[in-house]
Amino acid sequence: MRTHPPGQKTLPPGQRRVDGFPRFGTHLHQPAPPVPDDPVIAISGAMLGPSEVRLADLSALPRSEIVADFHCVAGWTATGLRWEGVRFADFYRRFVEPALEPGITVTHLVFEGLDGAASVVELQDALADDVLLAHRLNGHPLDSDHGAPIRLVSPAQYGYMSIKHLCAVEVCSALPTHRLDRSIFARLLEGHPRARVEHEERHGRIAGRLVRPFYRALIRPIRFLSSKGAQGT
C-alpha cells in the first residue's frame, strides 16, 4: 500500500475538510449510468487500430492500493480514502504502448465516462505512480452512483480529472482541441491543463486563489445531491 499524504494537518490552499465523501459533479440531475453486463475500456486515437480491454482482463495486472485525500476544485477535501485497483501506468504499458502508431509521441490522453464526462490529461500526469484505475473504495466495490464499474483516480490533481464510470481512453499526439468543451459555462469554469493541487491550478487563465469564491458559490448548490458517506463518489 502506498500513501499520498492523507488527512494531513494542513490542507492545500483554499481547501476545507468535509465529513465522508460526497457525490459531486455538474450532472447530478441525471441518474447514474447503468453498468454494462460486460464492461470494457475502449482505446482509440493514435493507435494501429481501435481496441477494447474487458475489465475482467485487468486481473492480469498487479493489484495496487493507495490511501489519499481527494480534493474537489470547489474547495472541499475528503481525507484518508483507500482506493484499490490497478495502476494506470501498468494498464498503459500493457494495453496501449504495444499498439501505438510507429514513431508516435503521445502527449495527452482523453478519459471518458459512461455519463459523458471527459477529462484531458497530460501523459506525464496520467503515468504518475499513484494514478489508479480503481474499482474499490474503503473496502467496498464502487456503486453505480459513485463511479462503477471503474474510475480514474489521480490524487495529485483536482477531482474533475478523475473521471467516473470510465469507458474510453483516447490517445493523442497533440492537445485534443476537438475534445475541449467550448460552451459558455465551460469557459467560465475553464480547467487548468494540469490541475495540480499542490500549485492550486484551479483555472486555465485565472490564479487559483482568485477563483475560490466563484467556484464555491457556483458549485455549492449542485455538488451535494446525495452523499454516500465514505463509500465513494
- What pLDDT score does 182 carry? 60
| Tens-digit pLDDT profile for residues 152-172 | 999 999 999 999 999 999 999
Helix (H, G, I), strand (E, B) or coil at 88: helix
CATH code at 2-213: 3.90.420.10
- Residue 169 near residue 43 (C-beta atoms within 8 A): yes
Give the separation between CA 19 and CA 189, rounded to whole angstroms: 25
Of the candidates 2, 157, 7, which has an alpha carbon nearest to the alpha carbon of residue 80?
7
- Residue 204 near residue 193 (C-beta atoms within 8 A): yes
C-alpha cell of residue 188: 467560465
200-204's contacts with Cβ under 8 Å and 24+ in sequence apart are 200/12, 200/13, 200/14, 201/158, 202/14, 202/73, 202/158
- Residue 13 near residue 79 (C-beta atoms within 8 A): no
Of the candidates 143, 13, 139, 166, which has an alpha carbon nearest to the alpha carbon of residue 81?
139
- Residue 89 near residue 127 (C-beta atoms within 8 A): yes
| Tens-digit pLDDT profile for residues 88-142 | 999 999 999 999 999 999 999 999 999 999 999 999 999 999 999 999 999 999 9
| Tens-digit pLDDT profile for residues 3-41 | 655 555 689 999 999 988 887 765 666 788 888 999 999
Contacting residues for 31 by C-beta, under 8 A, at least 6 apart: none
Share of the chain above pLDDT 90, in %: 64
Give the separation between CA 214 and CA 194, rounded to whole angstroms: 20
Three-state SS string over 135-191 comes to EEECCEECCHHHCCCCEEECCCECHHHCCCCEEEEEEECCCCHHHCCCCHHHHHCCC
Q: What is the pTM of this model?
A: 0.87
C-alpha cell of residue 41: 475500456
Share of the chain above pLDDT 70, in %: 82
| Tens-digit pLDDT profile for residues 216-227 | 776 555 444 333
Of the candidates 37, 42, 84, which has an alpha carbon nearest to the alpha carbon of residue 59?
84
